[in-house]
Amino acid sequence: MTLYDYLYYLLLPILAISILLLFIRFLIGPSIVDRVIALDLLITTSVGIITVYSIVYDQPTFLDIAMILALIAFLGTVAFSYYLEKRNKNE
Amino acid sequence: MSDILVGILATFGTVFVLLAAVGLVRMPDTYLRISVTTKAATLGIGLILIAAAVYFNDLSITSRVLAIILFIVLTAPIAAHLIGRASYFIGIKLWDKSIMDDLKGKYKKRTHELSSEDDDDSSNNEDQPNK
């Protein structure tokens, strides 16, 4: 069992299962804050998936996209919290 | 040898990411979910990225990986703090089995002010009132 098989047949499915669990929370989240957290963790988990993918296919260029996704996750969470606070303040 | 190390690091990272996902589904409260997000996911993603750095064994890839890890470690607590603050301000309830609420009575919903002084008699150890 090579490293390729191990990553491809065991670790990527586990990461896919965790994406599914996070998507359940994203759908049923009672408040909007739960959805924002679930979105943040979805993007962070996809950074991990991209990294494992870049190991499997031996393409280190994918790590640039992982960096951009980490930035987008942070910006999204900050923007959501800013506007949630503003919305409560103005009404 | 390097393959074994990559496998071990990626396995631990994946397990931490899976635990974070299970915790996000199973936790009873928004604030506990925020705590799950910041801790477990940061460690898991960091371990997976270190596995990639060990696998490629290149200076440019390693510096890129270190940049991503530094960025995630810096920004995850900030994002969690901001979203927790916003969720307290928009009035999301704590879990009904939570024991203490440190901000109880210190946030005025009308004027959007957060003071460190209590309104009642317990004013023994507050030193600076900031808004």
**B chain contacts of residue A87, beta-carbon cutoff 8 Å:** 90
B86 within a domain of the structure (yes/no): yes
Contact A31, B87 (CB under 8 A): yes
Does the pLDDT value for residue B13 go beyond 90? yes
The ipTM of this complex is 0.88
| Closest in B7, B52, B76 to A51, CB measured | B52
The beta-carbon contacts of B71-74 under 8 Å, at least 24 apart in sequence, are B71/A67, B71/A70, B71/A71, B71/A74, B72/A44, B72/A47, B72/A70, B72/B42, B72/B45, B72/B46, B73/B42, B73/B46
Q: What is the DSSP letter of A9?
A: I
Contact A57, B52 (CB under 8 A): no
**Closest to A15 in 3D by CA, of B16, B5, B7:** B16
Does the pLDDT value for residue B49 go beyond 90? yes
B120 within a domain of the structure (yes/no): no
User: What do you get for the CA distance between the two ends of chain B, in Å?
Assistant: 56
For residue A21, what pLDDT is reported? 92
pLDDT over 90, % of chain A? 48
B26 within a domain of the structure (yes/no): yes
User: B92 to chain A: nearest residue by CA?
Assistant: A31
For residue B124, what pLDDT is reported? 46
- pTM assigned to the model: 0.83
Contact B2, B57 (CB under 8 A): yes
Does the pLDDT value for residue B69 go beyond 60? yes
B121 within a domain of the structure (yes/no): no
CA-to-CA distance for B10 and B5, rounded, in angstroms?
A: 8
CA-to-CA distance for B45 and A7, rounded, in angstroms?
A: 15
Write phi, then psi, for B47 (nearest 5 degrees).
Answer: -65, -40
| Closest in A18, A51, A77 to B49, CB measured | A51
B114 within a domain of the structure (yes/no): no
Contact B90 A71 (CB under 8 A): no
Does the pLDDT value for residue B118 go beyond 70? no
Minimal Cα–Cα distance from A72 to chain B, Å?
11
Contact A73, A43 (CB under 8 A): yes
**Closest to B14 in 3D by CA, of B65, B53, B48:** B48
Contact A78 B79 (CB under 8 A): yes
- Give Cα separations from B96 to B23, B30, B35, B59, B111 (angstroms): 18, 12, 17, 51, 27
Best residue of B24, B29, B59, B109 to probe chain A, by most A CBs closer than 10 Å:
B24
**Structural domain count, chain B:** 1
Report the DSSP beta bridge partners of residue B113: B108
B70 within a domain of the structure (yes/no): yes
B55 within a domain of the structure (yes/no): yes
Does the pLDDT value for residue B7 go beyond 50? yes
User: What do you get for the CA distance between the two ends of chain A, in Å?
Assistant: 60
- Domain holding B22, by residue range, is 2-100
Contact A45 B49 (CB under 8 A): no
Going by pLDDT thresholds of 50, 70 and 90, the confidence category of residue B131 is very low
Does the pLDDT value for residue B88 go beyond 70? yes
**B chain contacts of residue A81, beta-carbon cutoff 8 Å:** 79, 82-83, 85-86
B45 within a domain of the structure (yes/no): yes
Which residues are within 8 A (CB) of B84 and not within 5 positions of it... i.e. 6 or more apart? B31, B34
| Closest in A11, A47, A71 to B11, CB measured | A11
Average pLDDT over residues B68-78: 90
User: B66 to chain A: nearest residue by CA?
Assistant: A67
| Closest in B25, B61, B92 to A31, CB measured | B92
